[in-house]
Structure 1
C-alpha cells in the first residue's frame, strides 16, 4: 500500500469516525473501559457502513453522522483553522465548523472503495496525560494490516475522539495544513475560504 493510499485511508477513517459522543459522562469520568467502549462503538458503525452496500451518497450521509456523533468536532475545527481562528467572528467560526464537518465527510468518504471488504479491530488502550490512546488495526483486502490510533478525551463532558494517527500521519496537522492553504489562496479572507470549503473535498 503506498503512502498516498495510507493517507487517504487515514482521512477516510477520520471522516467516518471523528465524533465520540456517547451519553454525557458527568456521573462517570473517562477511564480505560469507557474509552474502549467509545472506539468499539465507532469501529462498529464504520464497519457496518463499509459493508452496507449503500450508494456513495448514502455512505457520505452516514459518515457525516458518524463524524458528528463520535468526534470533538469543535476542537478539530478550531485546530484546523489555527491562528486564523483568533480573528474570526463567532458567526465565521460557527459557519466554518459546520462546513468543515461536511468537507471532511466528502473528502474521505469518497474513497470508501478502499475499505470495502475491510474492517477495523480494537487492540489496546492506555492512559496518556488527560486522555486515552486507543490503538486499532485496519485490515484491507490485499494489503498489509496497519495501525490506526485514536486519542479520546472527555473535556466536553462526553467521551469523544479529538485526533487520530495512521503510521505517524496526524489528522489534526494534516487538516490544519490544508485549511491554511485554502486561507492563503484567498489572501487571508475567511469568508471566501469557507465558501471554497463548501466545494472542496
Structure 2
C-alpha cells in the first residue's frame, strides 16, 4: 500500500469528496490551495506522488491543468462490506457515481454481481465508473438466484432499482443477508 503524509491524505480525501459528493469531474491546484489552505508547492508535490503511483489523471484546459483521481486504481474500502445481497434503492435520475453515498459506492465497488432493473438499464456504463468490475445483468428470477449463490459463497451481490418505478421480489432465506440502502435525490 502507498504511504501518504497527512497533507497527502487530506488532498486525496478532498479530491474524492469533490468528485463523489460535489459531482466535480476535475479539480485544480488553485481549488486545493484555496480550500485546504496548504501551500501550492506542497499540493504540487503531493499531486506528483499520486500521479507517479498511478492514482491521478491530468487534463489541460487552456493554460490550466485539472486533476482527477483514478478510482479504478484504488482498493480503499471493498473489504469493509460484509457478504450478502444488497438492495440499492437509487432513483433513476441520480448521477452515478457523483450522487452516491460512500456506503453505496463501497457496496458497488465490492460487488461480484450487479443486477439492475429496467429503470437503470441505460446506466450500465456508469456502474463501471463507480468501479464496479463485477458481472452486470438485468433483473430476472435467474439473476436473483445467481445473487443468492454469490452471497452463499461469501461475496457481495447488488440489486439496483428505483422503488418508485420498479417492483422487485427478493425472497428471504438463509444464508442471504439483505441490506436496504435508499438514496434520495434532492
Could you say which TM-score interval applies, normalised by the shorter chain? under 0.3
Q: In proportion to residue count, which structure has more strand?
A: 2
Q: In proportion to residue count, which structure has more helix?
A: 1
Q: Which structure would you say has the larger RCO, counting Cα contacts within 8 Å and 6 or more residues apart?
A: 1
Structure possessing the higher radius of gyration over alpha carbons: 2
Q: TM-score, normalised by structure 2?
A: 0.23
Q: TM-score, normalised by structure 1?
A: 0.22
